[in-house]
């Protein structure tokens, strides 16, 4: 059975539950139990079906005090395979953050922990609820740092920071990484609507198989031109010097436009930067271009997403991904809601290609006393054109009962 970093959320929730009365504290919790049928639990061209008993718990907590701010978002799933076609699993997902003002408005201490299942090859993109953990690995990113925030004037803020982070995996095939980062940032409000700034950063990353130093400089600007409407951009360059003697100079950038027109929201994003990749010794260089349109109706929402990404790097197999998603929610009655989602992810790497298709349909009924019941169906189709990966189908149908607190 997989066991995943349960101590941190338990301790965090215990601390939050004993906060002083003068602080603001909010929390939500839920438990659920259900049964699921999966036609292909190992995602193989020779499928094996199983019934899965699933017990889940979730906690979301937020604390805001005079000097301490914390947040916890935890989800735990115990998956018991009734006929033993797959090993039982205990999967944990956690986002926990805390910040403490060591010297009020001058010195800040920050710690964070992020724990999730991710693809062993980050170029495959985000995981989906219909995926098994067959080609995934547990990623735990723990970080801590000190930030000095001297304020030059009412319109200019500065940050001088040092941060240490570790990326740890529960597989010997993945590469653990330790990263140290020192940076200086300046942000100036030119007008009530216009902000500009700049960043200088040095980063050293070490693994058991190699290390790399990165030097980065960038400038940033943001302009708010209406209620819920703004545009931002960050442009710079990063030089990477590897222990093997080579070096690269690449652009770093992020830009976006958020525009709200009545009930419709448009979001355009572009990104070019290094991201963690469990399968690579060094971080992978990722470029991403995406567009999202969301329309809100009186009883539902519809959203469409399209994104193109490219992964490359010192020891990364170059991969191009194209993702499209269409999702809708609809409230049939005040107690009965539905969700429908369709996705396609196409990947091309070194002449090989693979397409993944997902369909999710869900009906949720709200019961008395903060309870609810959910009926869902999921379909996954993997089409592989390479000899190293198989094509297969997965059908999932499940029923779950949950209680909120």
Place 6 in a pLDDT band, splitting at 50, 70 and 90: very low
Secondary structure (3-state) at 280: coil
Tokens of 147: 């930030």
By C-alpha distance, which of 20, 58, 57, 53 is closest to 37?
Answer: 53
Place 15 in a pLDDT band, splitting at 50, 70 and 90: very low
Q: Residue 394 and residue 113: Cα distance in Å, rounded?
A: 32
Element (H, E) at 13: helix 7-16
Q: 75, 92 in Cβ contact below 8 A?
A: yes
Please tell me the number of Cα atoms within 13 Å of 179 on its side-chain side: 26
Write the DSSP string, 259-294: EEETTEEEEEEEEEEEE--TTSSSPEEEEEEEEEEE
Domain extents for the chain?
A: 7-404
Place 288 in a pLDDT band, splitting at 50, 70 and 90: very high
CATH class, 7-404 region: mainly beta
pLDDT (0 to 100) of residue 386: 67
Say what the pTM is: 0.88
Tokens of 245: 């003697």
Other residues' Cβ atoms within 10 Å of the Cβ of residue 20 = 9
Q: CB burial class (10 A; 0-12, 13-18, 19+) of residue 186?
A: middle
E strands in 65-155? 68-81, 89-103, 107-119, 136-148, 151-153
Q: What is the mean pLDDT of residues 181-188?
A: 97
Q: Which residues are registered as beta bridge partners of 222?
A: 195, 232
Predicted confidence (pLDDT) at residue 249 exceeds the cutoff of 90: yes
Q: Residue 82 and residue 53: Cα distance in Å, rounded?
A: 7
User: Measuring CA to CA, how many Å separate 8 from each of 3, 27, 91, 94, 241?
Assistant: 13, 16, 14, 9, 35
Q: 179, 166 in Cβ contact below 8 A?
A: yes
**Mean predicted lDDT score pLDDT of the chain:** 92
pLDDT (0 to 100) of residue 11: 45
The segment with the largest mean pLDDT, out of 10-19, 84-93, 381-390, is: 84-93
Q: Residue 193 and residue 242: Cα distance in Å, rounded?
A: 41
Chain centroid offset of residue 40 CA: 26
**Which residues are CB-contacts of 299 (< 8 A; sequence separation ≥ 6)?**
330, 331
φ/ψ of 70, rounded to 5, equals -140, 155
Unique residue bearing structure tokens 């949720």:
364
Q: CB burial class (10 A; 0-12, 13-18, 19+) of residue 378?
A: buried
Element (H, E) at 16: helix 7-16
Q: What is the mean pLDDT of residues 247-272?
A: 95
Task: Provide the pairing of β-strand 300-312 with 319-331.
Answer: antiparallel
Q: Residue 184 and residue 197: Cα distance in Å, rounded?
A: 11
Task: Give per-residue pLDDT as tens, 100-135.
Answer: 999 998 999 999 999 999 999 888 888 999 999 988
Q: 118, 127 in Cβ contact below 8 A?
A: yes
Q: Residue 222 and residue 193: Cα distance in Å, rounded?
A: 8
Chain centroid offset of residue 46 CA: 32
Task: Give per-residue pLDDT as tens, 185-200.
Answer: 999 999 999 999 999 9
Task: Give per-residue pLDDT as tens, 235-245.
Answer: 999 999 998 78
φ/ψ of 382, rounded to 5, equals -110, 120
Please tell me the number of Cα atoms within 13 Å of 405 on its side-chain side: 10
Place 387 in a pLDDT band, splitting at 50, 70 and 90: low
Q: Residue 36 and residue 204: Cα distance in Å, rounded?
A: 45
**pLDDT > 90: what percent of the chain?**
80
Tokens of 317: 């197999």
């Amino acid at each position: 059975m997989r066991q995943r970093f349960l101590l941190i959320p338990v301790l965090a929730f215990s601390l939050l539950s004993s906060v002083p009365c003068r602080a603001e504290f909010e929390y939500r919790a839920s438990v659920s139990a259900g049964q699921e049928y999966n036609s292909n639990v190992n995602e193989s061209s020779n499928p094996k079906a199983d019934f899965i008993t699933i017990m889940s718990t979730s906690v979301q907590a937020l604390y805001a005090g005079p000097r301490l701010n914390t947040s916890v978002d935890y989800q735990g799933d115990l998956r018991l395979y009734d006929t033993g076609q797959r090993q039982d699993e205990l999967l944990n997902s956690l986002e926990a953050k805390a910040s403490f003002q060591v010297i009020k408005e001058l010195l800040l201490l920050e710690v964070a922990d992020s724990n999730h299942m991710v693809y062993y090859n980050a170029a495959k993109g985000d995981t989906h609820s219909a995926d098994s953990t067959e080609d995934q690995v547990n990623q735990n990113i723990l970080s801590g740092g000190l930030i000095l925030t001297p304020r030059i004037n009412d319109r200019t803020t500065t940050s001088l920071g040092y941060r240490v982070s570790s990326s740890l995996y529960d597989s010997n095939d993945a590469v653990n990484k330790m990263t140290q980062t020192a940076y200086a940032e300046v942000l100036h409000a030119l007008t009530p609507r216009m902000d500009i700034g700049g960043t200088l950063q040095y980063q050293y990353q070490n693994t058991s198989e190699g290390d790399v130093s990165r030097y980065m400089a960038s400038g940033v600007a943001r302009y708010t031109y209406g209620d819920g409407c703004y545009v931002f951009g960050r442009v710079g360059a990063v030089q990477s010097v590897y222990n093997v003697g080579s070096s690269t100079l690449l652009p770093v950038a992020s830009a976006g436009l958020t525009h709200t027109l009545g009930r419709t929201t448009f979001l355009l994003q572009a990104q070019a930067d290094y991201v963690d990749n469990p399968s690579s010794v060094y971080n992978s260089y990722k470029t991403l271009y995406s567009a999202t349109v969301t329309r809100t109706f009186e009883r539902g929402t519809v959203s469409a997403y399209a994104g193109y990404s490219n992964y490359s790097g010192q020891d990364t197999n170059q991969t191009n991904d194209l993702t499209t998603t269409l999702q809708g929610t609809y409230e049939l009655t005040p107690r009965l809601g539905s969700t429908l989602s369709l996705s396609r992810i196409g990947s091309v790497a070194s002449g090989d290609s693979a397409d993944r298709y997902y369909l999710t349909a869900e009906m949720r009924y709200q019961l008395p006393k903060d309870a609810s019941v959910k009926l869902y169906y999921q379909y996954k189709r993997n089409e592989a054109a390479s000899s190293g990966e198989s094509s297969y189908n997965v059908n999932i149908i499940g029923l779950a009962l949950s209680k909120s607190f």
